[in-house]
Amino acid sequence: MTIPAEAQEAVKRFGISIEDYMLPVHGQIQILSEDGTMRPEDERGSSPGHQYPVPSDTELLEAYRRLVVGRRVNDQNSALVRQGRLAVYPSSHGQEACQVAAALCLRDGDWMFPTYRDAVAVMTRGVDPVEAMTLFRGDWHGGYDPHERNVGIQSTPLTTQLLHAVGVAHAAKLRGEETVVLAMCGDGATSEGDFHEALNFAAVFRLPVVFFVQNNQYAISVPLAHQTVAPSLAHKAVGYGMAGERVDGNDVVALLAVLDRAVTLARAGSGPLLVEANTYRMQAHTNADDATRYRNEAEVQAWAAKDPLNRMRHYLRSTGLLTDDVESAFAGDAEDVAQQLREGLSADPELDPQELFRHVFTEPTPQLREQAAFLADELTRDEQSGKELR
């Protein structure tokens, strides 16, 4: 086996074999039990080279605040779809721990490349909530400037964002920057060719990318068992010569710890890593989906008992970190964001028909200029006719 020098250094630091470094732990990393109690250190699924310290109380409290806001965002956006204010919304209800941890593990100069289901992660990263939802309103553009917060536009085509993420990481390495790129995808994306191309390129060129797979058990209506027979999606990393890890995707404590280490290793030059988070999409794929056609209520309820919000609330309450006043303040923060979404997405957008022609080519073609002039003439005559009628 050819082992890159960077990976050899990482292995030496942990004092383990290259196989133990690359292979995920048996089972998964879990720090908080499903009932919200802290698991003993020897029961967290860790192994040599795969130990994860518990984040600080300050980090955990902020993560919980973000969970509260994220849950309110999901509920509010689902309501806005029913009201006709949004065209579609892929809810991440039940996956908020993944969303929050993904954003909090990065520095300001790092990049995030999200999927269509990662609106909560995008907002946690600092993107304006209304701008983050503009795409789902049916506008022609993504809604926000990717360079403002180093967040790629939410990708609707499956897996294309992974190639973009690898490209940014490659550029950062060529420039000598310390940028780490977090490339987000779902379990369905691992069945796409772009997934292979992105991981293979990142591994060959030892790029600072963390591939974060939110395994919510279904690629729309296709269960994971019909997508792969690998022991886990994290095991796919080994085939590319990178390290893989499995983590409880409803345990925000474990997610923060695992993703923080992955980002730290990538920044230190260890090359790309793959993290699989086992979670569940509690609601339908989108408002256009009928999830009852491919999964049963008993399965949904079993996962409801693993809710990341309730788990974290129980733990913080037991430690005394979460008081009634603090929880009330967090709920107020969440309601402020919900109100911002309601007001921003209820306002009628200012439409300019000439935008149809402005961003097609850098230099408009003669045909486009002709069409734009024709439309401008039509708009002028309509405006004059309106004045005459008044």
In angstroms, how far is CA 297 from the centroid of its own chain? 26
pLDDT band, residue 352 (cuts 50/70/90)? confident
pLDDT value of residue 207: 97
| 294 assigned to active site | yes
Average pLDDT in the 304-315 region? 97
pTM: 0.92
pLDDT, mean of residues 40-63 = 94
Answer yes or no: is pLDDT of 1 > 60.
no
CA 374 from centroid of its chain's CA atoms:
43
Burial of 112 (0-12, 13-18, 19+ CB in 10 A): buried
The pLDDT of residue 359: 84
Tens of pLDDT along 232-273? 999 999 999 999 999 999 999 999 999 999 999 999 999 999
Residue of higher predicted confidence among 70 and 5? 70
What percent of the chain has pLDDT above 90? 83
294: which residues sit within 8 A by CB, 6+ positions away?
218, 221, 223
pLDDT for res 310: 97
Q: How confident is the model at residue 349, as a pLDDT?
A: 81
Phi/psi of residue 259, nearest 5 degrees = -70, -35
DSSP conformation letters of 187-228: GGGGGSHHHHHHHHHHHHTT--EEEEEEE-SEETTEEGGGT-
> What per-residue confidence (pLDDT) applies to 2?
60
Task: Please confirm, yes or no, whether 226 is among the known catalytic residues.
Answer: no
- Cα 249 to Cα 27, 91, 176, 235: the distances in Å are 13, 16, 33, 16
SS3 letters across 65-117: HHHHHHHHHHHHHHHHHHCCCCCCCCCCCCCHHHHHHHHHCCCCCCEEECECC
Q: Does the structure show a pLDDT above 60 at 166?
A: yes
Q: Average pLDDT, whole number, for the chain?
A: 94
Q: Count Cβ atoms below 10 Å from residue 312 Cβ, excluding itself.
A: 26
The pLDDT, as a whole number, for residue 67 is 98
As a whole number, mean pLDDT of residues 69-75 equals 98
* Residue-level pLDDT at 332: 98
The pLDDT, as a whole number, for residue 145 is 95
As a whole number, mean pLDDT of residues 30-54 equals 94
Task: Point out the catalytic residue in the list 164, 261, 285, 311.
Answer: 285
pLDDT digits (tens, 9 = 90+) for 190-211: 999 999 999 999 999 999 999 9
Both tokens of 94, joined, read: 């039940």
pLDDT at 104 over 90: yes
| Both tokens assigned to 98 | 């993944």
Per DSSP, 31 falls in state S
Calculate mean pLDDT across residues 284-300: 94
Q: What are phi and psi of 132, to 5 degrees?
A: -65, -30
Quote the tokens at residue 128: 């304006």
Burial class (CB in 10 A: 0-12, 13-18, 19+), 91: buried
pLDDT of residue 358: 86
Of 141, 226, 294, 369, catalytic: 294
CB–CB of 214/188 below 8 Å? no
Q: Which tokens go with 51? A: 């130990």
CB burial string 29-42: b at 16+ within 10 A, e below: bbbbbbebeeeeee
Complete DSSP assignment for 245-299? EEEETT-HHHHHHHHHHHHHHHHTT---EEEEEE----S-SSTT--GGGTS-HHH
Whether the pLDDT of residue 144 is over 70: the answer is yes
The angle that helices 252-267 and 96-104 make with each other, rounded to 10 degrees, is 30
pLDDT of residue 3: 64
State the Cα–Cα distance between residues 361 and 88, nearest whole angstrom: 29
Structure confidence by residue, pLDDT tens digits, 7-26: 677 777 788 888 888 889 99
Whether the CB-CB separation of 311 and 281 falls below 8 Å is answered with: no
Alpha-carbon Rg for the chain in angstroms: 23
Confidence of residue 112 (pLDDT cuts 50, 70, 90): very high
SS3 375: helix
Q: What is the mean pLDDT of residues 331-360?
A: 92
What are the pLDDT digits (tens) for 125-135? 999 999 999 99
Per-residue pLDDT, 16: 85
State the catalytic residue, choosing from 281, 311, 313, 315.
281
Pairing of strands 111-113, 181-186: parallel
